[in-house]
Amino acid sequence: MKVERRSILKRIVASVAGIAGVNVVAKAAAPDYAGKETFNVVYDQEVPLFSGSTKHNGLVFVAGKGAHFEGDITAHTKHVLDEIEAELKKAGSSMDKVLKVNVYLSDLRDYKAMNEAYRGRFGKNPPVRTTVAVYGGVPGDSLVEIDCIAAV
């Protein structure tokens, strides 16, 4: 499993380097984006705004999920993680296959309680994670927003 995650992470790093314009020593064939699958496309009137998730080249990219109801950070975090899990299942993946997570907090003082609700949701080998507090708050008055990248 570690070798598989490492090779997938290498592909992610190489992709990001390519987007940033960094020259990569090994040249690969141009990616075929025609095979990209999108799920739960959100529309702003008639124009597509974003997809809930995109699956491409053995990876699933899940858009940021928030909790848009009254509640505390624990309730919001649990709700968001449940939404991410459902999105991953629709795309043929699971929480155990998540490689990278980004957590955006409306208030950094919620870090400890968010961690308690987050703990154990990704199995014995949790993914790498970045957690930041967002200036001005998370859109939609959610106390937390989470996105992730997973293997299929």
SS percent in the chain: helix, strand, coil, step 5: 35, 30, 30
Burial class (CB in 10 A: 0-12, 13-18, 19+), 103: buried
What is the topology classification, in CATH, of domain 32-151?
60s Ribosomal Protein L30; Chain: A; (3.30.1330)
Burial class (CB in 10 A: 0-12, 13-18, 19+), 25: exposed
Instruction: Name residue, tokens 């993914």.
Output: 127
pLDDT of residue 147: 98
pLDDT of residue 55: 87
Q: How confident is the model at residue 25 (pLDDT cuts 50, 70, 90)?
A: very low
pLDDT of residue 35: 59
Instruction: Name residue, tokens 């299942």.
Output: 89
φ/ψ (deg, to 5) at 45: 65, -115
Contacts of 109 (CB under 8 A, 6+ apart): none
What does the domain layout of the chain look like in residue ranges? 32-151
**The pLDDT of residue 86 is above 70:** yes
pLDDT of residue 81: 98
